[in-house]
Chains A and B, each alone.
Chain A
């Protein structure tokens, strides 16, 4: 999500599931939607059936998606940037890109400062001693007004286009084959199909998921895909886009509502050096980099002020900076991502943890470390439907001693654990925000069983009781809590309808619900819990509960079905579906048309009544156009192929810089890394269609469909090791091991990489030491290695050994 925000302006699936049916080419890579998003996959099959779309599947494994694809290319886990870099090279060399789109809607024509370059694994500005980059050479060359200089001919050697051409000149099909382990022919066959989307009247979509996000260079990888899509002119087009398929029913909503480093609506978290609201707004309100940039984030003061009014109500006044001082500030450069959090916990710096719908022992890399970290807590609250590995972590020794011999006996663990029975999704109302950014309101199907309580009641009780304690006894930093607005009709269990109305926002002078974020003000007269959700519950009612199936554009946008952020827009960046004069690239597939001085069709991602050439088409970015060159990313403005931190081979492009120099690797004693001498094979982890995460091992149906954990092994390797189907095997890494029966398959191919055969071995997630069906936690294997931008662990591509037991 971090990558898409940097490239296009928003961190979300650009199009939507229903829109995939409009595609002519579907590149599935870093995802396995046939297995993990089977319902959404219907639209892929529709594209195949109705538009004769070609499906290209690039994956280490021959998956169920590969089984229905027109072209499958096996690659070694973690070599996706090499593959996509190869596509960029192929497209530029053969002239297979949508030239007008690239010129009009991207920063290809922008000039970069003197001194920018890339040499032997590092971009310019690398500081070996500090292990970081000085990004000054990565900036645009600005004119006197602070606007970026352009060369519309794209010929200037310092134009982004020429720099890109130069950077990817190394990614020849042969190099791609050498790195990825496919053949050059397989690569060019796929490249040719992908590049058919370069035609103005053709669209190609990219579907990806955790196979891309779970690498130590994940954000760069997704940026590479975005670059391919920009070259093909596929962003903003129906049937185009870079479509992130979220891994949980409401994970899009969870990200939209804030993470450790963002407030709701992707407003950045205040840092310690931003003492006042003014400081904050100055630091976080971007300036336009082009005269025609709409620069929508320029409205940050309206969003932030309205959010503060939502938090603190009447207590937020202009005089007190709308209560800005009550928001906790993150240290100036501190990181509180997953890896850092558990590192701190392990160091004994965290007293307590509230885990809501989260199972860190199962989810987090290096389970042994997770167990050790939790045992350093004084207390932990787990709100869940089932007993989880996390709530039972203290008993791991007894429940799974084989895997955790070094873990302490229950008697030695002092953490006090509270397991609060919580309701499941079907037992509460509220919304799911899906990958398509649709907020879909649902009703509770039944009441929670027994003592189980709905989340809002657990939170309401917790808040009310802690507040009472403060009232009675006082305490540190009371203001944020005491000044919070909690004026719900039932404070102990706020109704989600009230909350949803608050999230939409209202005008405090009239008391009316807002129609959208366009009505937000920075003077404290509007309140809004999340600006991007504004418009979801207007005076007209709950738009999220709509189920209208009319489709006026005929493109499957269904504008009256639920409500889509932002502003019920179904295709993000849809202004880019036509050229600078407003002429659609493809007349048969125009989500937006400029008629009678207005844009009609989908909600325009543009000023609704502005002339086609008035503004740049990517309104969220200061550039006003999409970015090939993205200096926001920490390891370089162009994606470069780096090996996974644990890799069986040397980086074929620059052996001196093997892995991502900026990857975050933790070095606690239990964070061991292995080498290919001891662990010669590549391990990957994945989900199966039969299960959902670590949850359905508790349910009857899924446990029947796939009762057993297994280790998926290429038949070549099985032959070498005389392993037969069903034989018990052990897969081990420097961190731990898992045992299970072998599933020997042809669908995993031995790959020729750098002159040797590299085998990959896979394990499905889903099992654990509690539940109706049990099995090993595969995160026994994985390492505390993270992407530096997003903080996502490298769950794909680590070194393993395989033994018959």
Chain B
């Protein structure tokens, strides 16, 4: 099965939040009232029951003001930090179509995925004590439908398709935008996480931080160390300790009282 992906062309996003509502509706999320955060953003950040957030950033450069609006959600990384960090077998799975999905029957709620994620996406529910995030509407894609956010987007800012197609489309669009005057336009498909199944076209790809995206996201080195060499070290010490003491016993035996002559 081909890897599917979501393309977000930020140059066409009008911040209408239709994707937010579609996400809430399709996923049967409870609607909660918000507190005023001093911006147009619905919530300051993603929540366990709010998986799709448009970030609004006022950004000024050379006296030129831009109001950057960008849909933010799970990036469905090719090399997913959450999967790497997760201890529970079957809790985070990669579907045949490349989607990184959480299986809540297996989730133990340790929250390691939250730390493993370079995009700060998964969120722990205080009631179920499990972690939630965008599923790329795996219940829709499984039957050949596009995710709810894509379906509802009024400006064609969002498109759904195979990753290969969308990458090509994204590159083409970036070239178009460059020709149109956005010289730094480009594709955001960070290689630090092996590329993502959510691909952005940014009008200024040299500065993804201005949109609220990390510049060169990677799985945090401490997480990689923890899940790599440290694990190895642990195995060596545990096995070494058990075997070592066992062979010590065989070679040297116990310390007997008689062996110590009286002085």
Contacts and interface: CB of A to CB of B under 8 A. Distances in A.
Q: Do chains A and B touch in the complex (CB under 8 A)?
A: yes
A744 to B, nearest CB: 7
A193 to B, nearest CB: 13
A68 B14 CA distance: 7
A359 interface: no
Contacts of B34: 704, 706-708
Which of B13, B20, B31, B157: most chain A Cβ within 10 A? B31
Contacts of A703: 31, 33
Given A68-B11, A704-B34, A38 B156 contact: no
Which of B20, B35, B154: most chain A Cβ within 10 A? B154
Given A68-B11, A746-B65, A705 B58 contact: no
A382 B12 CA distance: 42
Contacts of A705: 17, 20-21, 42
A747 B58 contact: yes
A97 to B, nearest CB: 27
A689 B20 CA distance: 12
Given A45-B157, A707-B35, A746-B60, 19 more contacts: A38-B14, A45-B12, A45-B156, A49-B156, A64-B15, A64-B69, A67-B15, A688-B40, A689-B15, A689-B17, A704-B24, A707-B33, A708-B34, A708-B36, A710-B36, A726-B38, A743-B38, A745-B58, A747-B65
Contacts, number: 101
A773 interface: yes
B216 interface: no
A704 B58 contact: no
A35 B16 contact: yes
A174 interface: no
A705 B154 CA distance: 17
B2 interface: no
Interface in B146-194: 154-157, 180
B31 A747 contact: no
A742 B180 CA distance: 37
A151 B134 CA distance: 68
B67 A62 contact: yes
B14 to A, nearest CB: 4
Q: Which 3 A-B pairs have the closest CB atoms?
A: A38-B16, A725-B38, A34-B14
Interface string A771-786: 0010000000000000
B3 interface: no
Interface of B: 11-18, 20-21, 24-25, 31-40, 42, 58, 60, 65-69, 154-157, 180
B156 A42 contact: yes
Nearest to A727: B38
B82 to A, nearest CB: 26
B8 to A, nearest CB: 14
A41 B18 CA distance: 13
Contacts of A707: 33-36
Contact of B33 (A45, A66, A773): A773
A65 interface: yes
Which of A68, A710, A746: most chain B Cβ within 10 A? A68
A690 interface: yes
B65 A35 contact: no
24 contacts: A38-B16, A38-B18, A38-B154, A41-B154, A42-B154, A42-B155, A46-B156, A67-B66, A67-B68, A68-B13, A688-B40, A689-B17, A690-B17, A701-B21, A701-B31, A703-B33, A705-B20, A707-B33, A708-B34, A708-B36, A741-B36, A743-B39, A747-B65, A747-B67
Contact of B67 (A67, A704, A706, A744): A67
A705 B25 CA distance: 13
Interface of A: 34-35, 38-39, 41-42, 45-46, 48-49, 52, 62, 64-68, 688-690, 700-701, 703-708, 710, 725-726, 741-747, 773
Nearest to A45: B155
A705 B66 CA distance: 22
A699 to B, nearest CB: 9
B206 to A, nearest CB: 19
A706 B42 contact: yes
Contact of B12 (A49, A688, A773): A49
Nearest to B153: A42
Which of A66, A707, A741: most chain B Cβ within 10 A? A707
Contacts of A726: 36-38
B130 to A, nearest CB: 22
B39 to A, nearest CB: 7
A38 B38 contact: no
A41 B12 CA distance: 10
Given A701-B21, A708-B35, A710-B36, A64 B67 contact: yes
A742 B38 CA distance: 7
Contacts of B39: 743
Nearest to A65: B14
A743 B37 CA distance: 9
Nearest to A745: B58
Contacts of A64: 14-16, 67, 69
Contacts of B32: 704
Nearest to A741: B36
A710 B37 CA distance: 10
Which of A38, A39, A52: most chain B Cβ within 10 A? A38
Contacts of A41: 14, 16, 154-155
A62 B16 CA distance: 15
Nearest to A700: B31
A739 B118 CA distance: 40
A688 B11 CA distance: 20
A392 B67 CA distance: 39
B13 to A, nearest CB: 8
B36 A67 contact: no
A743 B20 CA distance: 22
Given A701-B21, A705-B17, A66 B154 contact: no
A193 B35 CA distance: 42
Nearest to B43: A704
Contacts of B13: 68
A747 B67 CA distance: 8
Nearest to A52: B180
A282 B247 CA distance: 119
B154 A39 contact: yes
A62 B154 CA distance: 21
Contacts of B11: 68
A700 B14 CA distance: 22
Contacts of B35: 707-708
Contacts of A747: 58, 65, 67
Given A45-B155, A45-B156, A62-B67, A704 B15 contact: no
Contacts of B20: 705
A66 B68 CA distance: 11
A54 to B, nearest CB: 10
B142 to A, nearest CB: 26
A64 B18 CA distance: 14
Contacts of A743: 38-39
B57 to A, nearest CB: 10
Contacts of B65: 62, 746-747
Contacts of A706: 34, 40, 42
Contacts of B155: 38, 41-42, 45
A704 B31 CA distance: 6
Nearest to B34: A707
B173 to A, nearest CB: 9
B12 A68 contact: yes
Contacts of A744: 38
A349 to B, nearest CB: 43
Contacts of A689: 14-17
Nearest to B67: A67
Which of A52, A67, A726, A741: most chain B Cβ within 10 A? A67
Contacts of B15: 34-35, 64, 67, 689
A66 B17 contact: no
Nearest to A708: B36
A48 B68 CA distance: 18
Nearest to B17: A705
A52 B65 CA distance: 22
